[in-house]
Amino acid sequence: MGIIAIVGAGNVGQAIAGHMTLLGHEVRLYSRWERDFEAITSTGGIELSGDVEGRAAKPLLTTDLVTAVRGADTIIVAAPAFAHAYFSEQLAALLEPGQLVVFQPGVLGSSLELARHFALAQRRPCLIAETATSLYTCRLRGPAKVFIGAIKQAVPLATIPHAACQEALARLSPYFGNRYVDGTDTLSVGLGNCNAIYHVPPAVLNIKTVEDSAKLPQHTLVTPRIAEVINALDEERLSLAEALGVKTHSFWEFLATAYGVTEGSHVERIVQGYGRQAFPEPDSLTHRYFTEDIPFGLVTWNSLAKQIGLPLPLTDAFIRISGILCGADFEATGRTARVLGLEGSDPASVKAAFLNGVTR
């Protein structure tokens, strides 16, 4: 049995903590806020339902990051994308070379950002990995009660340095089995995060139901025409991957790999992939489908595309429209080429940085 630390006590963090506890591992769950632990403490554990059934005993709960990560062989960062910069700076000062940290899920540049912080701190980095999506599709359905709609069949994972991927997969296998698979490199994996593809167009194009807090199932918002918008946005993402010299899966290939969905129209595939969970649409303009998927998804793609002279007009339009709707400057707050140290880079330099964490 291993020692695993989970940074972040939301949906995914509690799902992983509960599941790993049930499997017999030593688990440490970290949050910056004591209030995140109130329900776990009062109920004495975490109740899981869905793909994993059981009541997990209370893991070690801590608001001290040192206590959480010291001596842990594996650290899972299950915090929102907007918190990754903060945790990268903190973890770069704490983690040792023998440890493994996984952004689960990451967004494009999560591993690179941590590698840069290690370099800035002049410390030898640990093994860094990220996934394109969460292994666990889950939601909190009550205090310390997590519904796991699905544990995905296969989730691509990549590392910095890229040659260490097999080592990371072997070290994660005792925890998660063989559900993580080789994703080649963090640029391919980062561009493979399809959250913004599925989350943003239905939310923006059904903005009245968002403002009304109708909480309709997200998949029911996807009409045949909106599915075509999803597909067109996805094609821009794929064009960026091609321009940067890497391959990544399409949104429809992601549905096949993650959920086994291979047949039907675009709408039918979305219903098959997400209908079981029936997770609701955003209930406000501060929902993570806006505050995470735009500044740490669309903005990052668009910023890297601008570095290499590739226009992404639909991506740019969603950023601009969403910014007006939300009253936010997503480009000012998001992860850009400048934040990643890639301003002025050509495609080869961008790819090299994502392979080994080395920037100019």
Secondary structure of the chain: what % helix, strand, coil (to 5)? 50, 15, 35
- pLDDT tens digits for 126-151? 999 999 889 999 999 999 999 998 89
- When pLDDT is averaged across residues 74-92 and rounded to a whole number, the result is 96
The amino acid present at 329, given as its one-letter code, is D
Q: How many residues does the chain have?
A: 360
- pLDDT tens digits for 17-57? 999 999 999 999 999 999 999 999 999 999 999 999 999 99
Judge contact between 112 and 137, C-beta under 8 A. Answer: no
pLDDT higher than threshold 80 for residue 360:
no
The token duo for 332 is: 């000012």
Handedness of CA 344, 349, 354, 357 (dihedral sign): negative
Q: Which of 7, 134, 5 is nearest to 79 (CA)?
A: 7
Q: In DSSP terms, which residues pair with 74 in a beta bridge?
A: 4, 100
- When pLDDT is averaged across residues 154-175 and rounded to a whole number, the result is 96
- β 127-131/100-103 pair status: parallel
Task: Enumerate helices (H) and strands (E) in the chain, giving the number of each.
Answer: 17, 12
- When pLDDT is averaged across residues 87-95 and rounded to a whole number, the result is 97
Report residue 249: phi and psi, to 5°. Answer: -80, 155
* Confidence at residue 258, expressed as pLDDT on a 0 to 100 scale: 85
Q: Which of 214, 146, 155, 220 is nearest to 182 (CA)?
A: 155
Q: In DSSP terms, which residues pair with 182 in a beta bridge?
A: 157
Question: In the chain, what are the domains?
Answer: 3-191 (3.40.50.720), 195-356 (1.10.1040.10)
E strands, 71-222, in order: 74-77, 100-103, 127-131, 136-140, 145-151, 155-160, 180-182
- The model's pTM: 0.91
- pLDDT tens digits for 49-72? 999 999 999 999 999 999 999 999
CA distance linking residue 35 with residue 195, whole number of Å:
28
Mean pLDDT, the chain, integer: 96
| 268 Cβ contact partners less than 8 Å away, ≥ 6 residues apart | none
HSE of 245, CA atoms in CB hemisphere, 13 A: 11
Q: Which of 5, 185, 10 is nearest to 95 (CA)?
A: 5
Q: In angstroms, what is the C-alpha Rg of the chain?
A: 19
CA distance linking residue 258 with residue 269, whole number of Å:
12
Lowest-pLDDT range of 273-277, 309-313, 336-340 = 273-277
CA distance linking residue 59 with residue 44, whole number of Å:
9
